[in-house]
Amino acid sequence: MNTTSAPAEDLIVIGKIVSVHGVRGDVKVYSFTDPIDNLLGYRNWTLRRGGEVKQVELVKGRLQGKILVATLKGLSDREEARTYADFEICIPRSELPPLAGDEYYWYQLQGLTVINQLGQMLGKVDHLLETGANDVLVVKPCEGSLDDRERLLPYTDHCVLKVDLDAGEMQVEWDADF
């Protein structure tokens, strides 16, 4: 395991090591990919926890319920594996597959200015939440926003009218009073 990696701003979090599995040094991983086992397609991971960064190689992995079990190269001891808990699993953005024209990665939506159909700035996309029905945009107030309210907007075709990454804006069908 080495300590070199892509620049921090180029890294995307695709999962998190949550605990150990078994006695041979395997780790349990919570995946942020969809489907969740897509995470296993990336062999070289940058692990990040606070200021600590490690490079690891995935040897093998398998789906176990809603959690993945992963074997990392050179990690064969349960107690050493325990020290990997709470590390984020990152990959360079350049390794993400291209998307269709109207699809976006969550990281691309974060920071966009949200403007409703009346031209009112509601705030900026802070992050997204995954729910059973649809993803939800968490829009937080910012300088120039209509008010100081945090809003939860469904990430659906009915609500999100247009995404303009170049302009840094998202047009939405959303009443400011909601």
Out of 95, 117, 145, pick the residue that ends a domain: 95
What is the rounded CA–CA span in Å between residue 28 and residue 39? 12
Clarify whether residues 90 and 130 are in a common domain: no
Q: What pLDDT, on the 0 to 100 scale, is given for residue 4?
A: 45
Total number of domains in the chain: 2
Q: What pLDDT, on the 0 to 100 scale, is given for residue 3?
A: 43
Q: Strands 113-116 and 121-129, how do they pair?
A: antiparallel
Domain boundaries, position 30: 8-95
- pTM of the predicted structure, to 2 decimals: 0.76
Q: What pLDDT, on the 0 to 100 scale, is given for residue 2?
A: 42
Half-sphere exposure of 111 (CA within 13 A, CB side): 7
Clarify whether residues 80 and 127 are in a common domain: no
Q: What pLDDT, on the 0 to 100 scale, is given for residue 73?
A: 97
Per run of 10 residues, the mean pLDDT along the chain (length 178 residues) is: 54 95 95 91 96 96 92 96 97 90 89 96 94 90 95 95 96 92
Q: What is the CATH number of the domain that holds 116?
A: 2.30.30.240
Q: What pLDDT, on the 0 to 100 scale, is given for residue 6?
A: 53
Residue 2 located in a structural domain: no
Q: What pLDDT, on the 0 to 100 scale, is given for residue 8?
A: 59
Q: What is the CATH number of the domain that holds 17?
A: 2.40.30.60
Residue 138 located in a structural domain: yes
What is the rounded CA–CA span in Å between residue 86 and residue 90? 12
In 3-state terms, what secondary structure has residue 40?
helix
Contact 152, 159 (CB under 8 A): no
Amino acid at 59: V
Q: Strands 169-172 and 113-116, how do they pair?
A: parallel
Whole-Å CA distances, 22 to 19, 34, 68, 146, 178 = 10, 26, 13, 52, 48
Clarify whether residues 27 and 86 are in a common domain: yes
The Cβ of residue 157 has, within 10 Å, a number of other Cβ atoms equal to 10
Q: What pLDDT, on the 0 to 100 scale, is given for residue 17?
A: 97
In 3-state terms, what secondary structure has residue 39?
helix
Amino acid at 29: V
What is the rounded CA–CA span in Å between residue 56 and residue 106? 24
Asked whether the bond before 35 is cis by omega within 30 degrees of 0, the reply is yes
Q: Distance between alpha carbon 173 and the CA centroid of its chain, in Å? A: 25
Q: What pLDDT, on the 0 to 100 scale, is given for residue 9?
A: 64
Structure tokens at 119: 């031209």
